[in-house]
Chain A
Amino acid sequence: MTDLDLSFTLNGKPVRLHVRPDARLLDVLRYDCGCTGTKEGCGEGECGACTVLLDGLPVNSCLVPAFQVAGRSVETVEAVAPEVTGPLNRTGTAQCGACSPGIVVMTRWLREHPEVLQDATLRQFMSGNLCRCTGYDSVISGVASVLDPKETAGGEGTSA
């Protein structure tokens, strides 16, 4: 296996690396770029802990081969602004913290794309971010408080 010559934009800055041809985006971020905020949970696209934005859309970085990332833009939890993470710290959204990076990235994306919530609920959009601590209500109320700081965040109706 010869190395893969990989150039892409990471959190707004160009990076150029030589990585294993079979590397996943998750591996490249953690081991080659030192962006260890992105966590590996299940490694098979179920849990959402490794969620990053690829060309502005949320993806599980464990399911993205690095060779598909060349020339594209990747944004990780490291690039998320404090106004997103601050409220999450006050709402009990994080307990053990393993799922938090993915939830933070999803919160940022939903904050920048409120239009997507016209056709599906917040719970539906957060259904790919598993949390084994909170029972989800504090995740949903935390994300809701970021999206609409005025609203006293309560859980939504249907469960996912």
Chain B
Amino acid sequence: MKVLQPDNLAEALRLLVEPDGTPVPIAGGTDLCVHWPARDLDNTRFLDLSRVAGLSRLTLTHNALEIGARTTYWDLICAADAAKAFPLLAQAARLVGAIQIQTRGTWAGNIANGSPAADGVLAMMVYGASVVLQSVRETREVPLDEFFTGYKQSVRRPDELIVAIRVPRRAYTFEWLAKVGARRAQAISKVGVAMTRSENGWRVAANSVAPHVCRCRTLEAALNAGRTFTSPQEVRSLLSADVAAITDLRSTAEYRERVLSRLIFYRLAELDKPSGHV
């Protein structure tokens, strides 16, 4: 095992194009260290981001929230303005794991790890976040909903580092996130869903029901067209075009799709009640 410990971003990016092979960036370690004893002892190379200056920022401007590459869930919870401006980010930060995870886990790591169950990704996706990727050659910005290409696969090239996440500020008339796990804390999602509505329309994202966290565009289109639902089954029929749940150690495909459609149906049904205006 070898650890590379740059103290500035330029050096970190240079190390990503070293001829010895691409190292694995490590920030909070809450994903990578889970399987620490089982890793390849001799050949793994880590690019430690913990000493790189300037990566922990959390900047809220009139137009956007910018989250640094090493900014943690706890950083956001403690930033009252950012947490108030993006309540689903604050909610996801508390749901992703207990305080010991919140203080170490990073938003960028949640994206880079590529888990289909990522709670932070769910919240960032319904806020229209984009991922800023930088390499020695260029900097580019990719919409988060176009970032993943498959299970733990993404458009990030080996020489690129996620250096920031940009979340645009919009006026929302509806913001909602729900997570179902084996318990209410410190559990990996069996199924999760987030929804927002702005002047740009509805955004719906779900986790643990596809190879990666995904937008539910068929359902979004129906909601944007003003469609209403009379049963969870109607929601599920639409979702079948958007999700592809599987059965694994945490849950079954049937449970996931059934619960996802019921969560959405009953939350939307609340909006139709006299007090539940959108």
Q: Which residues of A contact B (CB under 8 A)?
A: 1, 4, 21-22, 24, 43-46, 48, 51, 54, 57-60, 62-65, 67-68, 106, 119-120, 124-125, 127-130, 159-160
Contact = CB atoms under 8 A, between A and B. Distances in A.
A63 B97 contact: no
A54 B98 CA distance: 16
Nearest to A123: B185
A60 B100 contact: yes
Interface in B93-130: 94, 97-101, 103-104
Contacts of B74: 57
Contacts of B171: none
A64 B98 contact: no
B37 interface: yes
Contacts of A62: 33, 36
A65 B94 contact: no
B131 interface: no
A124 B89 CA distance: 17
B94 A60 contact: no
Nearest to B26: A65
A45 B3 contact: no
Nearest to A129: B98
Given A64-B33, A68-B48, A125 B99 contact: yes
Contacts of B50: 68
A4 B4 CA distance: 12
Given A45-B100, A54-B103, A65-B46, 16 more contacts: A1-B1, A21-B2, A22-B36, A44-B35, A48-B100, A51-B100, A63-B33, A64-B29, A65-B29, A65-B33, A65-B36, A106-B99, A120-B94, A128-B100, A130-B186, A159-B184
A120 B94 CA distance: 9
